[in-house]
Structure 1
Amino acid sequence: MNDQLHSVALAWTIARRDGVTIGLTDHDRDLVIDGLLYAAAPGMTPSAVKRSGDLEADTTEIAGALTGAAIGEADLLAGRWDGARVRVRAVDWTSGDVRAELGGGTIGAVELGERGFTAELRGVAALLDAPMAEATSPGCRAELGDRRCRVAMATRRRFARVLAVVETVVTLDTAEPLANAYGDGLLRWFGGANCGLESAVARSADATVTLRAPPRLAVDPGTLVELIEGCDKTIATCTARFGNAANFRGEPYLPGIDLLTRYPGA
């Protein structure tokens, strides 16, 4: 057997969407690679890594035991690791040199079991599964403030403090600037147990916002949150509230399938 294989270890670099980056290795001691500490995690094992030269999407799975503080059950259930960027490499644990790039991508579905967790790792080729052309729709297909919408969001983001939370209703210390300003928008948690997570807002009224789902973790009074205005994606709202009909990405006046069922006198 080649002696060089005796010093090979696997190293995972995982970067969450909130900026937290950790390193894990299946070696029996911690390693430092490119200035990042890779904590020993012998329980982390990948399935067979398949790399193909065609356009088929490459996916693999990573299984691991919830034995350390780096990846905990509470964070997995809260969704902190959803969409995290992963880089898998074979490294020389004696020198820290990278032997081979084994793959990378983003974390997809995460499942918890009795012995730990399994996470699907979707490669770059998985992006080819997305539709190449958009379907027509009466509502706008852009997201408020993105490069297609072009609405300036600097004045449509505000910070507030939480006074109370009852199921999905959050009471704030600041009233909304206009009726249902945060409906279909986002609430970002900047403190407390939910720090770094986002909650979708269904509607807002005065100093309260109603979330689409309860906060994933307990919320203490005084927690700082950021409120981002939303849009119901109708041409009426786009015109009256944002004055942005020129960038509306929908077909509100295109006849739908009900045109086939119309008849005189209907």
Structure 2
Amino acid sequence: MSWFSQALETVAIVWRLERHDGVALGFVGHDRDIWRQGFRYRAVPGIQPSAIMLEDGLRPDTMDMQGVIAHDAISEADLEAGRWNGARVAIGFADWADADRTPDWLVHGEIGEISRRSGAFTAEVQSGKAALEAAPCPRTSPSCRADFGGHGCGLSRQRFRIEAELLSVDADGALVFDAISEADAPHYLFGHIRWLSGNCRGSTFAIGAVQQRRLIPSDIHSCVPQPGDRAMLTMGCDKQFVTCRDRFNNSANFRGEPHLPGNDLLTRYSYG
């Protein structure tokens, strides 16, 4: 049975959001919650989508999702902490009167830019076709273009990841963990911290500097971790060929051109 084929329809718009920390939430534009296939869609009549326009071309399909930050599931603290950045999203129709009918999904994509103003938020939804805007071939660069432990790197993040407990937080935001010694700390420069418990659970901090055994986040976050919080720490890489060769013995997978002359070759002064 297709939608809008009858004079009276029991149809509602549903959203399914999956954050990178594994949290999956469902919402429905209705006055009460509905359950489909054992999954709960919370009633949020205050959230409204913009017009959904789907094209058969290669141009990315985009739309906006607007709502009031009033529901416990979407809090201002979570938005500030970046827990919703890049979350996977599916938007479609559901029959609120027929519990056996599964939702029909219209759009699949990711949450893009999120803006907040006067207690409300607007989230951009980008379809999967946005990936087609990427360059068809990589540009040359002296540094590695692969993400550490990601596609093309050839190394597994699991080998360079440990779980640790936070011992202290300095006034400048520097973090000290029980499993990180002063000798090991430099290896975590440009890595990241994913919080498993506490106020920052689900958030990820990038490590921008290291002082002795102190790990200093590169950005300011709204949540403040507390001693005793547990986190998953992943080592980093400065994407230089020497590091890839000497530290990781991974020069065969280096995704860069460290010996290729740059544009400054033409401007160098000759002493010959």
2:31 counterpart of 1:12: no
- Within-5 A mapping of 1:11-50: 11-50=14-53
Residue number among 235, 244, 251 corresponding to 1:245 in the alignment: 251
Which residues of structure 2 form unaligned runs of 5+?
A: none
Query: Aligned residue for 2:189?
Result: 183
Structure 2: which amino acid aligns with 1:192? Answer: G
Q: Counterparts in 2 of 1:103-122, with a 5 A limit?
A: 103-122=107-126
Matching residue of 1:91: 94
1:99 Cα shift? 6.5
Deviating 4+ runs (over 6 angstroms): none
Unaligned runs of 5+ in 1: none
- Which residue does 2:220 correspond to in 1? 214
Post-superposition shift, 1:156? 1.8
Instruction: Please point out which of 130, 144, 163 is paired with 1:126.
Output: 130
Structure 1 distance, partners of 2:103, 2:222, is 40
Q: Give me the whole-angstrom Cα distance separating, in 2, the residues matched to 1:186 and 1:115.
A: 30
Equivalents in 2 of 1:98, 1:70: separation in Å? 23
Kindly indicate whether the alpha-carbon contact (under 8 Å) linking 1:168 and 1:213 is maintained by their aligned counterparts in 2: no
- Pairwise CA distance, 1:3: 3.9
Q: Deviations over 1:56-96 (max 9, x none)?
A: 11000011111211111111111111111111111111103
Whether the 8 Å CA contact 1:78–1:217 is kept in 2: the answer is yes
Distance (whole Å) between structure 2 residues aligned to residue 189 and residue 79 of structure 1: 12
Q: How does 1:158-169 map to 2 (within 5 A)?
A: 158-166=162-170, 167-169=172-174
- Asked if 2 retains the 8 angstrom alpha-carbon contact of 1:168 and 1:212, the reply is no
The alignment's TM-score, normalised by the length of structure 2, stands at: 0.91
Shift of the 157–206 alpha-carbon distance from structure 1 to 2, 3 Å rule, reads: farther
Whether 1:233 aligns to 2:239 is: yes
State how 1:182-201 maps to structure 2 within 5 Å. Answer: 182-201=188-207
Q: Secondary structure at the match of 2:188?
A: coil
TM-score between both structures, scaled by the size of structure 1: 0.93
RMSD: 1.9
Separation in structure 2 between the aligned mates of residue 79 and residue 154 of structure 1, nearest angstrom: 23
Range 143-152 or range 234-243, more displaced: 143-152
Q: Is the 8 A contact 1:109 1:120 kept in 2?
A: yes
Is residue 181–residue 204 contact of structure 1 (8 Å, CA) maintained in 2?
A: no
Q: Which residue of 1 aligns with 2:177?
A: 172
Q: Percent identity?
A: 38
Q: Secondary structure at the match of 1:236?
A: helix
Measured after TM superposition, the shift of residue 130 of structure 1 is 1.4
Q: Across the two proteins, how many residue pairs are aligned to each other?
A: 266
Q: Structure 2 CA distance, aligned partners of 1:144 and 1:225? A: 19
Give the letter aligned to residue 66 of structure 1: I
**CA 1:101–1:160 in 2, change beyond 3 Å: closer, same or farther?**
closer
Aligned CA distance change for structure 1 residues 50 and 5 (closer, same or farther; 3 Å): farther
The correspondence for 1:261, drawn from 252, 263, 267, is 267
Give the Cα separation in 2 of the matches to 1:130 and 1:65. Answer: 33
Change (3 A) 1:115 1:207: closer
Contact 1:89-1:98 within 8 A present in 2 as well:
no
SS at 1:181 equivalent: helix
Residues 192-226 of structure 1, C-alpha deviations (whole Å, 9 max, x = no match): 11011111112334421121123430221111122
